[in-house]
Structure 1
């Protein structure tokens, strides 16, 4: 192996450049050339799209700065469609003409699935990134075993999923943390602390919405900012209980700060933030407005008397306010944890390709004896 390619796909995170930097630096050690493809998979789908030699003469280009947020190569939510074999073959032929011997895809679950058609033609490795921290982590109620179902009695072979209620030790968790998550929590936590002073000064109820989609890890990490209530997508909302708690908090301290994950669901399973049902280029439902929907429901459940007694000269619409931490969670300089381990994961991805591995994922593990350490698992262990 002499030449490898690398691309960044999906949503941006603060540690992408650090991952690329780690890959290039390790490639320098091994005497490999690294070529970056621009704008994710779009860069290899378009034959006119240029590529960048990231380490001419085994020297990392100065523009590649590991402490800089975002990605030097650009990104997109364009993916290779496995249902178009002619396109897949054309991409493989183009990489062959460029004498690319292996490809590193930096991304999350969408990128993981997007590289599968290419892995049938040449070695591919995933270097993980996602602020959601949901690549590989199993939820307690996630079905994780298929068992044969013979109840129908019609002779047709069927399988159903069964939930194994087992305690999972921390060292067994795959991908304990993904690059970008720690920085996202750091930014969101700072926002919580700042918003509290406003809520306290004006006797307001603040509802702060954070990213994460169906994963509540960012919302849970906001505990470092000491909000009063945290609402996670993994737990259906008990609006009656939430209303009671907010009322108690306001009686006690005359303000409240509520953190809500963008993918929360109500008692019926309906996602509060998916009212419009619009989808992004990757086909995922766009979540927007979970905080606003919670505000609307809380305003009704608290009742007119709650507002008129406490702030008679204020409109009840202004007493509860919402804020989104938004894209600041995904941008800017990565904190040291993300920067260091993203660099390590990028280097490990190069090592896997050099060893002849294909369709593997680099992972960050944790154990009581070793602490954090870099490892790898086959793709099929993580695919949705």
Structure 2
């Protein structure tokens, strides 16, 4: 996920356990950082402040992909999610049960739904490994999207928000009651209750 330790090793790429198919389970960098914090801080700190019995109980991670984007799948996600599901059903009807439905992209054609034989993802031992973003999408010298990356994201950004998304934003994020009510955090409520007890 792009985060490395002091020795330059990628954090959170793979763990030693495997899924039911025998493939290595991918693990997020956030969980690897959590483990480092648990080791460095230890249990005594949290027990002394009554914030849990152990560091592993008090330190947690969150998957924020949807939250960073506003909390809901965007129009692009919903449209292509439905298309991918339809393609998956078509593959099963055609008897192609070792294939996956995919979204493809090219500068000339844009996005389209296609399929790919599952063996194409496997190495010679039958294992599936994490794929990295193709370097053509990012300009590492200037630390920004490349021209190809911008061309790829342009249609997603152009059609990202539908009418129902705006209604949801208006009724939640921009609701007038948001001006009167403080931000409500479950974690803060739990901490207050722990201190009270």
TM over 0.5, shorter chain: no
Instruction: Give the TM-score of the pair, scaled to structure 1.
Output: 0.20
Query: Which structure has more strand as a fraction of its residues?
Result: 1
**1 or 2 for the larger relative contact order (CA 8 Å, sep ≥6)?**
1
Of the two, which has the highest radius of gyration? 1
